[in-house]
């Protein structure tokens, strides 16, 4: 289990790093997809079946495709023009290190790490569904409303170009 | 006797696994299951291709392959050798690694999705608690593989075909998943073997309690199979390949064995999604009538699979291809509303289950039929331009 975690963590980090460093934008997007998959595998090693499968379904099946299509709409995919790396890179690394350091110090100093871990609850899909439909039904409905509004907005935006063109 | 025959393969696997030391038993068991899936479905693929070519030939009034072996039965072998020995042409501008990875990534998810299908009593390779979700999760990664194929080929037609294929897959994934939600709702389980168990028992002591024998199940099955046809890029939804206009779409730059892998992936996808349809609506490995339990359960599963594939071939030989705009309209304005209404139909059937007055079952069927039939008629009339009930008029290109 430990080596599995290490391998998956390495894969996640390496593919995320590659996604930032590679010149070709489509390669970057595919690397992001790899890191999504290895994150899902990490969830699976934690016995979180539902989250792992949903991660693949939503992130690889939808988000990665969205990223890829957005990239195809940009002009220069292959990155021949200029380097994607931000020029004064010491500045970038410095800011990154600062953020990472503050996060790590916050986590290590919190009471969370000193607490005894409770036994892992065996969360089945049924329990997830039941709590979504009872305790968390209001947030669920609000998210549903928000997504519907976003969908309608997208349809409206797409329709405007077609105005005066008769039936679409 | 019949139980021994039914559990033949299960017992065989147990016997082989028990020969190994305890540490090895788990990996060996997995290897056996994976090997069995690959061998069985690869040979089924060969049989399907032959049956398809023969069947299409029959429909189009020509003999079909009849030169290799008796009645052309050895044609798959000849095709296989041809594919294997063909020159593998890689376009100069192609993106080597991605071009190479795409065909394997098309095959892999479909093979994985076979692993959760219950193909007989105790014959599920991996019985996951959220099996249905697993099936759709691995299926979703095919889209990325199609994009990789289209983009890495560095060909306008390939990219165009890939975009068409992705758009179609995303559009039809919605009705596909929503039509299965009704089953999950009624069965109360995401586990595929749990859904098969929910279809145990018989109506009136003779007719199996398959989901397809309910109004919502019948509608759901038809919607599911339509969406499945589109999802696996089969005719009449085969416009991503559209060989008359965009010359095989994302497959255009692939040759030799890589092309064969795509071809195989398409057929595997069709079989996997038919297997899911069988599991969800046609009772999985359960017999249709009481008194037929003596037939081994895997024969029922593969028999139903054969029937589904035959219907796919029949549809391909019968219906003309849709246009891109018809495809989108059909998905969003017809399939999606109907699948949503079907959820209501499933709920109505579920909550009228305790009706016990005389003629309760016909009344429930009438309720379900009106709940689904009225929107069906309204939507189909609106979509194809006609208004009201009457003979349809068709417009053809002149």
- Kindly give the confidence (pLDDT) of every residue in chain B, 398 residues in length, as a single tens digit, with 9 standing for 90 and above: 577 777 778 788 888 888 888 888 888 888 888 888 889 998 899 889 898 888 888 888 888 888 887 887 888 888 888 888 888 888 887 777 888 888 888 888 888 889 888 888 878 888 888 888 889 888 888 888 888 888 888 888 888 888 888 888 888 888 999 999 999 888 888 888 888 888 888 887 788 888 888 888 888 999 999 999 988 888 788 777 766 666 777 887 888 788 888 888 889 989 999 999 999 998 888 888 887 778 888 888 899 999 999 999 999 888 888 877 788 888 888 888 899 999 988 888 888 877 777 777 888 888 888 888 888 888 877 776 655 566 666 666 65
**CATH code where residue A75 lies:** 1.20.120.1200
pLDDT confidence of A168, banded at 50, 70, 90?
very low
| Tens of pLDDT, residues A17-47 | 888 887 778 888 889 999 999 999 998 888 7
Report the residue from A26, A37, A61 with minimal CB separation from B151: A26
- A17 lies in the same domain as A74: yes
Give the model's pLDDT for residue A149.
94
Mutation target to probe the B interface, by most B beta carbons within 10 A, among A40, A68, A73 is A68
A57 contacts on B by Cβ (under 8 Å): 133, 136-137, 140
- Residues of the domain holding B96: 2-383
The pLDDT, as a whole number, for residue B387 is 57
Provide the b/e sequence for B195-222 (b: ≥16 CB within 10 Å). bbebbeebeeeeebebbbbbbbbbbbbb
Answer whether A128 touches B (CB < 8 Å): no
Rounded distance, CA B87 to CA B312, Å? 31
Residue % of chain A over a pLDDT of 90:
18
- A1 shares its domain with A72: yes
On whether both A57 and A131 belong to a single domain, the answer is no
Amino acid A65: pLDDT: 87
* Closest Cα in chain A to B102: A30
- Number of alpha carbons in the 13 Å side-chain half-sphere of residue B62: 8
Judged by a CB distance cut-off of 8 A, whether residue A54 touches chain B is yes
- Is B144 close to A124, i.e. CB distance below 8 A? no
Residue A91 lies in a domain: no
Contact A33 B143 (CB under 8 A): no
* A2, A71: one domain: yes
Give me the number of domains chain A comprises. Answer: 2
A60 lies within 8 A of chain B by CB? yes
In chain B, what residues touch A64 (CB-CB under 8 Å)?
144
Kindly state whether residues A72 and A135 are assigned to the same domain: no
Number of domains in chain B: 1
Kindly report the nearest CA distance between residue A92 and chain B, in angstroms: 30
pLDDT-based confidence at A144, cuts 50/70/90? very high
Q: What are phi and psi of A138, to 5 degrees?
A: -70, -50
Evaluate whether B225 touches B309 at the Cβ level (below 8 Å): no
pLDDT at B332: 85
Q: Which domain holds residue A9?
A: 1-80
Indicate whether A13 and A66 sit together in one domain.
yes
Cβ contacts of A8-14, under 8 Å, gap ≥ 24: A8/A38, A8/A41, A8/A42, A8/A45, A9/A42, A11/A35, A11/A38, A12/A38, A12/A39, A12/A42
**What pLDDT score does A66 carry?**
86
Question: Which of B271, B135, B132, B138 lies closest to B192, judged by CA?
Answer: B132
pLDDT of residue A100: 92
* pLDDT number for residue A99: 94
Supply the Cα-derived Rg of chain B in whole angstroms. Answer: 22
Answer whether B144 sits within 8 Å of A65, measured CB to CB.
yes
Residue numbers in B near A61 (CB within 8 A): 137, 139-141, 143-144, 173
Question: Cβ contact (<8 Å) for A69 and B166?
Answer: yes
Average pLDDT over all residues of chain A: 81
A166 pLDDT above the threshold of 50: no
| Radius of gyration of chain A measured on its C-alpha atoms | 21
Residue A101: which pLDDT band, with cuts at 50, 70 and 90? very high
Q: Does the beta carbon of B148 lie under 8 angstroms from any beta carbon of chain A?
A: yes
For residue B100, the distance in angstroms to the closest alpha carbon of chain A comes to 14
pLDDT of residue A102: 94
Q: Is B140 on the interface with A (CB under 8 A)?
A: yes
Closest approach of B216 to chain A, Cα-based (Å): 22
Does a structural domain hold residue B397?
A: no
Confidence (pLDDT) at A83:
57
How far apart are the CA of B163 and the nearest CA of chain A, in angstroms? 8
Place A162 in a pLDDT band, splitting at 50, 70 and 90: low
Q: B163: which chain A residues are within 8 Å (Cβ-Cβ)?
A: 69, 72
- Using alpha carbons only, give the angle B54, B57, B63 rounded to the nearest 5 degrees: 85
Compute the nearest-CA separation of A4 from chain B (Å): 16
Test B144 with A60 for CB contact under 8 angstroms: yes
- For A64, the closest chain B residue by CA position comes to B144
Q: Does A19 reside within a domain?
A: yes
For residue B96, the chain A residue with the least C-alpha distance is A27
Residues A54-92 have pLDDT tens digits of 888 888 888 888 888 888 877 666 555 555 556 677 888
Residues 6+ apart with CB under 8 A from B177: B136
B190/A69 Cβ within 8 A: no
The verdict on A69 touching B (C-beta cutoff 8 Å) is yes
Task: Report the C-alpha gap between B100 and B149 in whole angstroms.
Answer: 9
CB atoms A125 and B166 under 8 Å? no
Distant-in-sequence contacts of B95-100, Cβ < 8 A, 24+ apart: B95/A24, B95/A26, B95/B151, B95/B152, B95/B154, B98/A26, B98/A27, B98/A30, B98/B148, B98/B151, B98/B152, B99/B148, B99/B149, B99/B152, B99/B153, B99/B253, B100/B258
The minimum CA-CA distance between B310 and chain A, rounded to whole Å, is 30
Contacts of B143 in chain A (CB under 8 A): 61, 65
3-state secondary structure of A123: coil
Among chain B residues, the shortest Cα distance to A33 is held by B144
Contacts of B190 in chain A (CB under 8 A): 125
């Amino acid at each position: 289990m430990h080596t599995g975690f290490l391998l998956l963590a390495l894969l996640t980090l390496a593919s995320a790093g590659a996604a930032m460093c590679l010149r070709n934008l489509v390669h970057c997007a595919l690397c992001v997809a790899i890191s999504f998959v290895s994150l899902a595998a990490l969830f699976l090693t934690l016995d979180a079946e539902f989250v792992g499968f949903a991660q693949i379904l939503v992130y690889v099946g939808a988000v990665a495709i969205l990223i890829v299509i957005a990239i195809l709409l940009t002009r220069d995919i292959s990155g021949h023009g200029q380097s994607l790396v931000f020029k004064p890179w010491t500045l970038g690394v410095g800011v990154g290190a600062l953020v990472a350091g503050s996060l790590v110090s916050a986590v290590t100093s919190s009471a969370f790490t000193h607490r005894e871990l409770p036994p892992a609850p065996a969360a089945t899909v049924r329990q997830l569904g039941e709590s979504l439909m009872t305790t968390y039904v209001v947030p669920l409905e609000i998210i549903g409303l928000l997504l519907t509004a976003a969908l309608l907005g997208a349809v409206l935006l797409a329709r405007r170009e077609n105005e005066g063109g008769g039936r679409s | 006797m019949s139980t021994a025959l039914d559990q033949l393969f299960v017992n065989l696997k147990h016997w082989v696994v028990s020969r190994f030391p305890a540490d090895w038993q788990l990996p060996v068991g997995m290897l056996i299951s994976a090997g069995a899936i690959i061998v069985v479905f690869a040979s089924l693929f060969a049989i399907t291709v032959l049956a398809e070519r023969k069947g299409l030939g029959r429909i189009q009034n020509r003999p079909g392959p009849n030169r290799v072996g008796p009645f052309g039965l050895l044609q798959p072998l000849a095709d296989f050798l041809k594919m294997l020995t063909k020159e593998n042409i890689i376009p100069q501008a192609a993106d080597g690694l991605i071009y190479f990875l795409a065909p394997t990534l098309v095959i892999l998810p479909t093979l994985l999705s076979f692993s959760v299908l219950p193909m007989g009593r105790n014959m599920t390779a991996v019985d996951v608690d959220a099996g249905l979700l697993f099936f759709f999760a691995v299926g979703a990664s095919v889209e990325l593989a199609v994009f990789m194929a289209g983009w890495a080929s560095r060909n306008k037609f390939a990219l165009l075909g890939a975009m068409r294929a992705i758009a179609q897959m995303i559009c039809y994934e919605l009705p596909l998943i929503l039509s299965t939600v009704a089953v999950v709702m009624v069965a109360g389980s995401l586990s595929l073997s749990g859904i098969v168990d929910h279809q145990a028992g018989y109506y009136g002591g003779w007719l199996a309690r398959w989901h397809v024998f309910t109004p919502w199940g019948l509608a759901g099955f038809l919607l599911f199979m339509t969406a499945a046809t589109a999802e696996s890029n089969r005719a009449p939804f085969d416009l991503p390949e559209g060989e008359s206009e965009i010359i095989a779409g994302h497959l255009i730059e692939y040759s030799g064995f890589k092309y064969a892998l795509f071809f195989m992936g398409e057929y595997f996808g069709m079989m996997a999604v038919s297997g899911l349809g069988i599991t969800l609506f046609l009772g999985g490995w359960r017999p249709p009538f009481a008194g037929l339990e003596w037939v081994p359960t895997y024969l029922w599963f593969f028999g139903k699979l054969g029937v589904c594939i035959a219907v796919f071939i029949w549809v391909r030989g019968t219906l003309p291809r849709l246009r891109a705009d018809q495809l989108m309209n059909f998905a969003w304005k017809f399939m999606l509303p109907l699948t949503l209404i079907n959820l209501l139909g499933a709920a109505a059937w579920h909550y009228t289950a305790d009706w016990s007055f005389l003629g309760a079952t016909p009344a429930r069927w009438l309720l379900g039929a009106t709940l689904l039939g009225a929107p069906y008629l309204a939507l189909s009339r609106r979509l194809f331009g006609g208004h009201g009930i009457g003979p349809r008029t068709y417009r053809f290109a002149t």
